[in-house]
Amino acid sequence: MSIKTKQKSGFNLYKLLTTLGIAGIFIAVGYFVFQTSYGHITAMQVLITALILIVSVGCLLCLPWSKWISEKRYRIVSWVFIGVIGVTIILWLISAILIYNIIITQDVNEAKTITLLNFLKVVFIISFQTLVANMIGRTFLTYKKSLIVFQIVMDLSYLFLDFYICYALSGIKMSTSGVDWTANTGLLTNHLVLTLLTLSILYIGISNAILRVVERRKAARGRGGLGDAFVDAMEENDVQPSNKKTAEEKLAELKTMLDKNIITQEEYDKKRKDIIDNM
């Protein structure tokens, strides 16, 4: 009882991020609606709303990884992904502040605009890479070798979509002399490529839906799932098998075996010492 109470009173990153993510979205929406109810909205109010939403979305993206950390599983991988997501969120915060700075100072010259647009392009490419890696990593660690066909189809679809979007964006070259398109337009508009792009989007949706159904069924059977944002991971770890024998029961059973001459005194002493040492 004391161990369980101690675990519940400890710091739980999963619960913290869940609270911050959900509360942040409600606060941002409420703040924006409250400000617009007066009939006007300022750049500062939009910035505050955007910053809160960005942080909230970042917290929600970290939920699966924080849950595994709370369960003491995949800790290194989880911290790496949380770090990558954190860097991406910082880039979006910087982007929002830069946009606000240009608007509020009304210093919209061509050079600054081009620099900002190039920066936003890089941020978007990094964000998409982070999102794809996050989805593939979550799926692999959640299902491992089960539902492997759906995992492969979904992962390949993600990778193809990632290639198409990032290739298209990287081909946009912006400078003070104008905007140039250096990507292979023929490749991007090729009938086969567009067909694969459409199939990738459909397969991602279908595979995600199937995996979500499987996950909900697992949760209904009491096996838990990442979709339930309010599950306490520490409570799940506290559930003990009902058929597990206590040390007292093992010692009593061992004494009975000795009395019935099933084991020798030497075997009894050795086994008794092992049980006591493992208590």
**Predicted local distance difference test score (pLDDT) of residue 88:** 93
Residues 41 and 76 in one domain: yes
Q: Is residue 157 part of a domain?
A: yes
**Predicted local distance difference test score (pLDDT) of residue 93:** 93
pTM (2 decimals)? 0.65
- Look at residue 37 and give its three-state secondary structure: coil
Question: What's the average pLDDT block by block, 10 residues per block, for the chain (279 residues)?
Answer: 44 85 89 78 84 91 88 87 92 90 74 82 90 87 79 87 86 71 73 89 84 72 45 40 66 82 82 78
**Predicted local distance difference test score (pLDDT) of residue 221:** 62
Q: Is residue 132 part of a domain?
A: no
Q: Is residue 134 part of a domain?
A: no
Tell the residue number behind the tokens 């409420």, with chain if given.
Answer: 30
- Round to whole Å and give the CA distance between 183 and 176: 19
Residues 100 and 152 in one domain: no
Q: Is residue 1 part of a domain?
A: no
Residues 104 and 14 in one domain: yes
Residues 36 and 67 in one domain: yes
| Domain of 205, in residue numbers | 146-239
Number of domains within the chain = 3
Tell the residue number behind the tokens 């697992």, with chain if given.
Answer: 218
Q: Is residue 85 part of a domain?
A: yes
Q: Is residue 100 part of a domain?
A: yes
Residues 199 and 273 in one domain: no
Residues 227 and 251 in one domain: no
| Residues 160 and 121 sit within 8 Å (Cβ to Cβ) | no
Q: Is residue 4 part of a domain?
A: no
- Round to whole Å and give the CA distance between 164 and 171: 11
Half-sphere exposure of 28 (CA within 13 A, CB side): 18
Q: Is residue 49 part of a domain?
A: yes
**Predicted local distance difference test score (pLDDT) of residue 83:** 92
Q: Which long-range contacts (CB under 8 A, 24 or more apart) does 227-235 make?
A: 229/18, 229/22, 229/63, 230/18, 231/67, 232/8, 232/12, 232/15, 233/12, 233/14, 233/67, 233/70, 233/71, 234/7, 234/8, 234/10, 234/12, 234/70, 235/8
Domain boundary among 62, 79, 108: 108
